[in-house]
Amino acid sequence: MAWLKTLAETYDVYSDLAGVDKNGQAVLLPISHSTFNAQIEVTIDQDGNFQGARKLDKGSDVVTIIPVTEDSAARGNGNFPHPLCDKLCYIAGDYTSYTGDNKEKYFEAYMQQLQGWAESDHAHPMVQAVCKYIGKKSLIHDLVTSKTLELDDNGKLTDQTKIHGLGQTGANIRFIVRGSSMPQEVWKNQELYKKYSGYYQQKSGDKKLCYAFGKIESCSDKHPSKIRNSGDKAKLISGNDESGFTYRGRFTSKEQAVSVGYDASQKAHNALRWLIQKQGYTRDESAIVCWMVNRDILLPDMMKDSINACNDIDDFDFDFDMIGSDETLSLNKHDTGKYFAEKFNNAVSGYVGKFEMDDKVAIIALDAATTGRLAIVYYDEMGGKQYADAILNWQKHCRWCRTVRVEKSEEGKKRVTCECTPSPRDMALAAFGAQRSEWLEADSKLIRGTVKRLLPCITREGVKIPPDIIKSAARRASMPQTMSDYVWYNDVLCVVCAMIRFNYEKGDRMMENFLNDNVDDRSVLFGRLLAVYDYMEQRAMFEYDENGKVKERRTTNVKRYWNAYSSRPAKTFKTIKQNLVAYEKKLSAFELVKFEDWTSEIISHFAEDGFDNRALSEMYLPGYYQQMEYMKKAFQKKEQ
């Protein structure tokens, strides 16, 4: 119940935003309210007279905040009307006349409920106006007269005419009440929200123990859905199994399993839905959100790469437009990534300094257990400083130079090469993805499960990336011919190197000294040899234009034999070496000497029994990468 209590406390912190629409952003729902997508908007005056109606354009402002009851919010096929805005079959007194479908009981239940509110101490003039109009039983007639709805040749309402893909009889209706001043939309009126919340909460039922707060109060056994999005029917708390009785064996009734106060349930679910829409990660049918519990401050998004993690934080002191600017391009191109990383880390450190000692951060991850149920697959709470230190540790030790798309720029998205931390989804795709189009793709369940396993690595210091994920990514990186050069290098090789770095670095052991610290490691040495022969062929085979770009890029022998090399390195090395004899003649004397020196120096470090056909560990990949970067810098220095 910790997550419920924390979310309810979060709602109290932001309660002044309930029902407030700010620049089209996500709206925190008031208590006892939900949403639906409206298809028709009806305008009446304050005396309950019809003024007009219109069909709403699909994709426009159709999401409508509506008051609900416990039963109506969780209704399936039963007769449980919403208190104000609802479907035609509930609010149209002439529905049976125009459809032939007897829904008189639905209309009677709706009117009884609406009249109870309109005649109570919590009544509102807009509610009374709607009650007067609906009591005339002329809604469909007015909609047909205004040509909002269409009848067939028999004068019946037909479902052959669609509104937003739905038949006309299933249309959702919302109201505008035109007063003495400006028209008032009932779904945007703050006073109306408060009136209904007060009205409904006074109709409390039996009081029980709320497991979330430990208080005796009115409890609910029907909890809200629509948590991940407006069409989501899955629930976090559900006990409606009246046939299989899945709760039996431990309890005799579902109330013994869990009992949550109505107020606590409403606050917690509304806060969670709002946070997910506002700043959550929703992809692959999962939802993950991290938030500050006690005050309004945005946190770095741990589900994005480190470059885009702080895009939405207005007071983050970093100029994203500097990436790729003349200032950075004027530097040595191989140092640009580190130059950017230093500037970015300084900005992150400055932002972290704004955290206070009593700040509290919570993280929750949701996944679909079944069609109608959600599971909390990860939940954690920590201090603000602890979270900031964890993010800094993650970004410091799990970074690699790669090309990313920066979303916050005047030109929109642009690609830049810099040293950054991949997102958890990037890591999952590197481990289990396959290139079917332009990018890597993978099964959504596999991605969800992998991302969930990576969350503790980000939030808890000392937790390493699971070795099987790294090994799987290393196997993908050992098959470069199955992907384009860009995807293989940027989305697989660089990402797996970043993961290896996170597990490798500890204390004084840093990736900057990787080659020197592992000078006798056979996997690293074989990786370095692979880089030497790959770059040798590139220098001999590729032709460059006057701007230094490759005119025509062909697959090297190393790329073709890469997978075999990772499994049988000694045997495959000889094959690659024989295939490169013809290319050596195209190299200059300086190039040939350098490649021979590097090859001899690397081979000299092999132990007597090290140059064999045992499969290589994933450590050969950073060995390949760093040897390649070292050689490129050496030739660039010579050319300059």
What is the DSSP pairing of strand 172-178 with strand 40-45?
A: parallel
pLDDT greater than 90 at residue 111: yes
How far is C-alpha 219 from the chain's CA centre? 32
pLDDT at 298: 79
pLDDT greater than 70 at residue 238: yes
pLDDT at 244: 59
pLDDT greater than 90 at residue 423: yes
- Say how many C-beta atoms besides its own lie within 10 A of residue 302's C-beta: 23
Q: What is the mean pLDDT of residues 487-510?
A: 94
Q: What is the mean pLDDT of residues 273-281?
A: 90
pLDDT greater than 80 at residue 228: yes
Q: What are the pLDDT digits (tens) for 13-53? A: 999 889 888 777 788 999 999 988 999 999 999 999 999 99
- Give the residue with greater pLDDT, 515 vs 548: 515
Can you tell me whether residue 375 is helix, strand or coil? strand
Amino acid at 236: L
Q: What are the pLDDT digits (tens) for 55-91? A: 998 876 888 999 999 889 888 778 999 999 999 999 9
pLDDT at 331: 44
User: What percentage of the chain reaches a pLDDT higher than 70?
Assistant: 89
Residue 87: partners with Cβ closer than 8 Å, 6 or more residues away: 170, 171, 172, 173
pLDDT greater than 60 at residue 247: no
What is the DSSP pairing of strand 215-220 with strand 207-210?
A: antiparallel
Q: Which of 523, 156, 507, 29 lies closest to 515, judged by CA?
A: 523
* DSSP classification of residue 491: I
Q: What is the mean pLDDT of residues 498-524?
A: 94
| Contact of 344 with 334, CB cutoff 8 Å | no
Q: What are the pLDDT digits (tens) for 622-636? A: 999 999 999 998 888
Q: What is the mean pLDDT of residues 496-523?
A: 94
Q: What are the pLDDT digits (tens) for 293-344? A: 988 887 888 888 888 877 777 666 666 666 655 454 444 444 545 666 677 7
pLDDT at 317: 67
Claim: this prediction has a pTM higher than 0.75: yes
Query: Residue 347 and residue 342: Cα distance in Å, rounded?
Result: 9
Of 99-103, 302-306, 320-324, 537-541, least confident by mean pLDDT is 320-324
Q: What is the mean pLDDT of residues 494-512?
A: 94
Q: How far is CA 566 from CA 484, 571, 612, 628, in A?
A: 19, 11, 12, 17
Token duo for residue 457: 């690595």
pLDDT at 337: 53
| C-beta pairs of 477-484 under 8 Å, 24+ apart in sequence | 477/430, 477/621, 478/562, 478/563, 478/566, 479/562, 479/563, 480/559, 480/562, 481/555, 481/559, 481/560, 481/562, 481/563, 482/434, 482/435, 483/435, 483/440, 484/435
pLDDT at 544: 59
pLDDT greater than 90 at residue 158: no
Distance between terminal CA atoms of the chain? Answer: 65
